[in-house]
Amino acid sequence: MLIQKLSDERVLAALIAAVALVLGAFLTFLLNKRLELNKSKLEMKRKILLDALNLTDAILSHRSTYSKTEKTDFSTEEVRKCYNNLAVIVKNKKILYKFKVAWGFGDYDEEVNFGIISDLRNMVRKELGFGWKQIDLDKGRAFLSYIPNSKPMRTEEEN
């Protein structure tokens, strides 16, 4: 009777251990899937936000009055894709607003100036979790219209 009781307790303990092991493996699998999904979402958000900054920089290069400023090419398709991606992915609607202001969409009170890139950079930093502290506060020099002490690129006509 004692041997049967011990074997029953051992079987029960083994069964409990097996169930715990399977449950632990399943929970680990679910946690890893969630982490993988969150990592993918963060990478997607990062790419979209950096695309928005680069496209905003591109439009500002066309607004520059400095003769040394090299214009950055962009297409309407790129801008539309970026806008749609931003509208889907960002939590802070002010990012979408700043992007639209920079491109001249809508009837906004805010004047488009080169400092808008600084505002957008700081909003992107917050959205990506890099901190709430603003950096690049010198809005007058936030847009790099040309590189000081450098020679402008030569055109084909000059070669």
Q: Look at residue 20 in the predicted model and tell me its pLDDT.
A: 93
How would residue 152 be classed by pLDDT, with cut points 50, 70 and 90? low
Q: Look at residue 49 in the predicted model and tell me its pLDDT.
A: 95
Tell me how far apart the terminal alpha carbons of the chain are, to the nearest angstrom: 102
Rama region for 115: left / alpha / beta (φ>0; ψ in -120 to 50; rest) = alpha
Estimate the share of the chain in helix, then strand, then coil, as percent rounded to the nearest 5. Answer: 65, 0, 35
Rounded CA separation 21/139 (Å): 57
Contact 150, 69 (CB under 8 A): no
Contact 125, 131 (CB under 8 A): yes
Rama region for 134: left / alpha / beta (φ>0; ψ in -120 to 50; rest) = beta
How would residue 71 be classed by pLDDT, with cut points 50, 70 and 90? confident
Rounded CA separation 31/34 (Å): 5
What 8-state DSSP symbol labels residue 116?
A: H
87-140 pLDDT per residue, tens: 999 999 999 988 988 888 766 677 777 788 888 888 998 999 887 776 766 666
Mean pLDDT across the chain: 81
Q: What is the amino acid identity at position 98?
A: K
Cα 80 to Cα 22, 83, 99, 142, distances in angstroms = 48, 5, 11, 25
Which has the higher per-residue pLDDT, 86 or 3? Answer: 86
